[in-house]
A and B are shown apart, each in its own frame.
Chain A
């Protein structure tokens, strides 16, 4: 199984890329979601502009821009750096939009009760609003994560040695029918990797529902 071992060589890179970009996304999305729902107009507009700009451009274009379009002094992105930053920024924008929707669907009375009790803004956000918003958006976040896993394959276009890149390399060296094999394997691998995310998210979701209604 040469094809399998070739594809598996790309597995750590696929996972690393996905998880790094996701981590950047989650951390960056919280302040941006607050910006999107801010009552301060310039802040809200700036956040909105950022989100729409980032989401309006295809990921592949962002990756090419970062990889080939940026040179600051002697600094240039290497392929992995460009891929992580590119996928990370895109994740920030998408996740911020998801979080904003979650925050807005928490009933207004929750914030009012917090104010009436005299809770500080940070306690209101982290203790009351964010946990409820997270319960609402956790399935959407899981969906985004599985999407991101598959989108990480776009990094193969800027020579990041993840699974699809390895598949292509193998196919080039085996221009027979065997060349199709790594693509079948990589397809199956993506499915296998997505399953636990979907499963965990469903478990988490039903556990949180039970915690509230049971």
Chain B
């Protein structure tokens, strides 16, 4: 069984997401200026760009960890207008459809790896403890950490913690996975373990949106490369095309900085 087959229970249809005209400001400070992005089911979108461009904020707007001031989000037959009141059912549906992996892992430190993955399943999906634990063990095995099931996160390396965090998100059968700089807190060698899991997930056809500074990964794995700068998407397209022949001067400057170092 592959990762996303386990994740989707072979049933969940692949999900896309449409974000239109997302804007966000803090007081007078604009963070996102009318950003739109359509993600096709089963594709991988890599979001790159200089820091402060709004990549992470945009990603966090997708599952409403940040509330955009205006715009629409369409996912799994739900249309959400975050500028207005969002009803609890739409919010729950959104969070259920969209899984997220953070830069700082955010595992629950007082729970074992197994409990970290099982607890949300029991609470959110109403699975019994046995069902949840069984699924958790499958996922832990897939990310190569079966022997860590009983350990608390404090006893796991950063790379192991991030793989547990990925398993925790997958256990809720998301249709889309968001990754917010998943390897930025890890040293390069350890980051490879995490990238390997993500490559496998992408190969299985999971819809993924990845904010990353890993250019190799963005080039090899993503279907669409999106470049953000100054609160906007300035360029997007096939990753090889964008990287070898960027149209915007700002993109060229950024790529030179990250590729020719």
Residues of A within 8 A of B (CB): 107, 109-110, 112-113, 115-120, 123, 127-128, 131-132, 135, 208, 211-214
Contact = CB atoms under 8 A, between A and B. Distances in A.
B65 A112 contact: yes
B2 to A, nearest CB: 22
B217 interface: no
Contacts of B99: 116-117
- Shortest Cβ-Cβ A-B pairs, 8 listed: A118-B95, A113-B106, A109-B106, A116-B100, A213-B154, A117-B120, A123-B123, A118-B124
Contact of A211 (B96, B104, B106, B110): B110
A116 B63 contact: yes
A214 B109 CA distance: 11
Q: What does DSSP make chain B's interface, helix, strand, loop or mixed?
A: mixed
Contact of B104 (A109, A116, A118, A128): A109
A112 B96 contact: no
B92 interface: yes
Contacts of A109: 102, 104, 106
A127 B123 contact: yes
A117 B110 contact: no
B14 to A, nearest CB: 19
A117 B173 CA distance: 11
Interface string B94-137: 01101110101011111000000001100110000000000000
Given A116-B98, A116-B100, 13 more contacts: A113-B102, A116-B63, A116-B65, A116-B99, A117-B95, A118-B120, A118-B124, A119-B123, A127-B119, A127-B123, A208-B110, A212-B109, A214-B154
Contacts of B169: 116-117
Given A117-B95, A117-B169, A214-B155, A112 B106 contact: yes
11 contacts: A110-B106, A112-B102, A113-B100, A113-B102, A115-B65, A117-B95, A117-B172, A132-B108, A208-B110, A213-B154, A214-B154
Contacts of A128: 108
Interface residues of B, number: 25
A58 B92 CA distance: 48
A120 B92 CA distance: 9
B240 interface: no
Contacts of B108: 110, 113, 128, 132
Interface of B: 63, 65, 92, 95-96, 98-100, 102, 104, 106-110, 119-120, 123-124, 152, 154-155, 168-169, 172
A117 B98 CA distance: 8
B20 to A, nearest CB: 22
A113 B155 CA distance: 20
Nearest to A120: B123
A128 B123 CA distance: 12
Nearest to B66: A112
A193 B108 CA distance: 36
A115 B65 CA distance: 7
Contacts of A107: 106
B209 to A, nearest CB: 13
Given A115-B65, A116-B63, A118-B124, A213 B155 contact: yes
Contact of A116 (B92, B95, B107): B95
Contacts of B107: 113
B172 A213 contact: no
A214 B154 CA distance: 7
Contacts of B100: 113, 116
Given A109-B106, A110-B106, A117 B124 contact: yes
A133 B96 CA distance: 27
Contacts of B106: 107, 109-110, 112-113
Contacts of A212: 109-110, 152, 154
Nearest to A213: B154
A117 B168 CA distance: 9
Listed residue (B99, B108, B124) with the most chain A CB atoms within 10 angstroms of its CB: B108
